[in-house]
Structure 1
Amino acid sequence: MRVFFDRELDTAATYWRIFRRDGIVIGFTSHDRDLVFGGIRHRAAPGMVPAAIRMTSDLSEDSAGVDGTLSHDSIRATDLESGLFDQASIEIGIVDWQAFDSYAIYSGTLGRIEDDRRGFSAELRSAKAILEQDLVPRTSPTCRAVFCGRGCGLSAIRFTQRVNLAAFDADLNRVSFDGLPSANYIDGQVRFLDGPQTGMAFGILSANGGWLTLDRPLSDQTSIGTPAELREGCDHTLATCSGRFGNAINFRGEPFLPGNDLLARYGQGAG
């Protein structure tokens, strides 16, 4: 294996690989020309620099970051706003720009991304981040299970339809599909099967007059007629679970458990 920085003058450059959830892979390098290795073209991006990378041998979270400019065609402000880079996997390493030997020094996922319209900074999260998740269920009046997910027991296919985009309003960030009734799609999701946001899941915030308002910006390059999967929603209440779905047996909540306000009440004696 190539040993880097074992000489006074080394032909080394850093590289970044971003693996988006829609299947797009983007590579960058700090070198002054594009480098192709590992089957990926890494575009020259001298303006992108890695922040300090901290890696530990214990269970504490590793940390890293990357700063860059929004001038590169592969990372645009509209793409960041549309969520194309949300939870993307990332790899940072060193490459010999002559022999193309490379070594990955960090891998993780993109966390918080900050954009000031002139540049961006991204927080990177390693695989240890999963250790920070609270795996102990907490009581709640509503169902904690994901609709049609683990613990719910309902089939996603049963409540999902293939539709085509009939219209969209970019200003209000809302869409309309094939004249379907909108009442049952609040808290549901839309997943486009073609176009610039292929594979991304959009949450449905509200429904009004056949329009569905989405929870993240819709690309202005989306075309009328774009196919999508539209899944019904659930408000996670016991009434909906029982009355609409007949699935109360799988309800993951405690709607009748007294809340903390009961402990704060004054005692009342018999009069």
Structure 2
Amino acid sequence: MRTLPTALASHLAGDATTMCHCWRVTRRDGIVLGFTEHDHVLTFDGTDFLAASGFQAADSETASGLSVEAGEVSGGFSSVAISEADVIAGRYDGATVEVFQANWQAPAEQHVLLRVQEIGEVVRAGGAFRAELRRLTHRLDQVQGRIYGRRCDAVLGDGWCKVDLTDPAYRGSGAVVAVLSQTQVRVSGLDAALGGFYRQGVCRFVTGANAGHAGDIEDHCVGGDGVVLSLWLPPPLPLAVGDTFTVTAGCDKSFGTCGAKFSNILNFRGFPHLPGSDFAFGYADGDTVHDGRPLYE
């Protein structure tokens, strides 16, 4: 049950109200922005809520329980609010949104937090955006904890894996010398690495339009025409010759790669000797030995 401030409750009990919605967006990089549908800037709870964004909420439904209902908010791009470049770069993906209702005549004393949501899908069209607001219960649909499998479930270089990715042996840097497509570039600076060394690794752009953006590497090929990197997804903005980047080695999560490439078998987080589905769904027959011996030596 939500408890309203006394002054706000008295205002809502009156014959006429002066209420509006406000949104506080906390991006994953820590930047906090405030927006309101009112026509003036409102300040409360340590945040300035800008009116220049043209923010407007669509109708939404709220249900009890753990349902994953979603709302929507829309607005126009603004140099003082949300820029199109930031949206393209994914800086608002997964951001937390606090939805307030406030009396615009006295916002500091008369406001209430209605709900906390996360930004889901963002759609751009005609100089404006439309963002889906998801209830936090959507996280319950995501896999939590670990899953038994033959391959490692750690992220290369994290606290489970413990491979030191600051080691120069696992890092490289270079520059784009030719743009073959928006997911494939010919690069310099990686001639010393064997083909495939950076496959399934990470490429982070240092300069250029995509500076700060990191993408997964699909393939790393070395041939007579030079070194070619292929990305799984195109960067938010077009690639250009001269863009510089850093790369880290990739891992296919297999037991063999963990030992041969990283000498890290003791920290392998998979179960390479786990019987497969063929064994699990098999049945006893005269051609198979069932005497309790280990399945793998």
Length-normalised TM-score, structure 1: 0.77
Which residue of 218, 240, 249 maps to 2:257? 240
Tell whether the 8 Å contact from 1:193 to 1:228 is kept in structure 2 after alignment: yes
Match for residue 8 of structure 2?
3
Aligned to 2:277: 260
Opposite residue 147 of structure 1, the aligned amino acid is L
Secondary structure of residue in 1 paired with 2:118: strand
Distance 1:42 1:228 in 2: 36
- Aligned equivalent of 2:60, options 21, 32, 52: 52
State the 1:236 CA deviation.
0.5
Equivalent position to 2:48, from 27, 40, 54 = 40
Question: Greater shift after overlay, 137-146 or 259-268?
Answer: 259-268
User: Residues 40, 203 of structure 1: CA spacing in aligned structure 2 closer, same or farther, 3 A cutoff?
Assistant: farther
Pairwise mapping of residues 84-103 of structure 1 onto structure 2 (< 5 A)? 84-101=91-108, 102-103=111-112
The answer to whether 1:123 aligns with 2:138 is: no
2:23 maps to amino acid = W
1:157 alignment partner, one of 162, 166, 175: 166
Tell me which amino acid in the other structure corresponds to 1:142. Answer: R
User: How many angstroms does 1:253 deviate by?
Assistant: 1.4
Relative distance call for 1:166 and 1:33 in structure 2 (3 A) is same
Q: List per-residue Cα deviations over 1:243-271 (Å, max 9, x = no partner).
A: 11111111111223221222444654259
Residue ranges of structure 1 left out of the alignment (5+ in a row): none
Deviation readout 1:137-172 (Å, 9 max, x if unpaired): 322121111111131121232266474644573842
Q: Max radius of gyration: which structure?
A: 2
Residues 21 and 199 in structure 1, CA contact (< 8 A), matched pair in contact too: no
Identity of aligned residues (%): 26
**Other-structure match for 1:72:** 77
Superposition RMSD in Å: 3.6
Judge which range, 191-200 or 81-90, deviates more: 191-200
CA contact (8 A) 1:31 1:44 kept: no
User: Which consecutive residues of structure 2, in runs of 5 or more, have no partner in the other structure?
Assistant: 289-297
1:218 is aligned to 235
SS at match of 1:185: coil
Contact 1:164 1:225 in 2 (8 A): no
Question: What SS is found at the alignment partner of 2:167?
Answer: helix
Q: Is the 8 A contact 1:92 1:106 kept in 2?
A: yes
Alignment equivalent of 1:172, drawn from 140, 158, 182: 182
Tell me: CA distance 1:98–1:152, structure 2 relative to 1, closer, same or farther (3 Å). same
- Look up the match of 2:115: 106
Provide Cα deviations, 1:72-127, integer angstroms capped at 9, x if missing partner: 33253x6545422222222211233233324332223223x15374653413242x
Range moving further from structure 2, 26-35 or 146-155: 26-35
SS at match of 1:210: strand
Q: Report the Cα distance in structure 1 between the residues aligned to 2:180 and 2:35, rounded to whole angstroms.
A: 31
**Which of 19, 23, 32 matches 2:26?**
19
- Distance in 1, matches of 2:213 and 2:151, equals 26
* Aligned with 2:197 (options 142, 166, 184): 184
Secondary structure at the aligned position of 1:241 is classed as: helix
Task: Tell me how far apart the structure 2 counterparts of residues 252 and 155 of structure 1 sit (CA, whole Å).
Answer: 16
Structure 1 residues 227 and 52, CA, compared in 2 at 3 Å: closer, same or farther?
same
SS at match of 1:261: helix
**1:170, 1:42 → 2: CA distance?**
42
**Inter-partner Cα distance in structure 2 for 1:124 and 1:105:** 14
Whole-angstrom distance in 2 between the partners of 1:26 and 1:98: 21
Q: Secondary structure at the match of 2:197?
A: helix
Contact 2:258 2:264 survives alignment (8 Å): yes
* Contact 2:88–2:237 (Cα < 8 Å) also in 1: no
Structure 1 counterpart of 2:153:
144
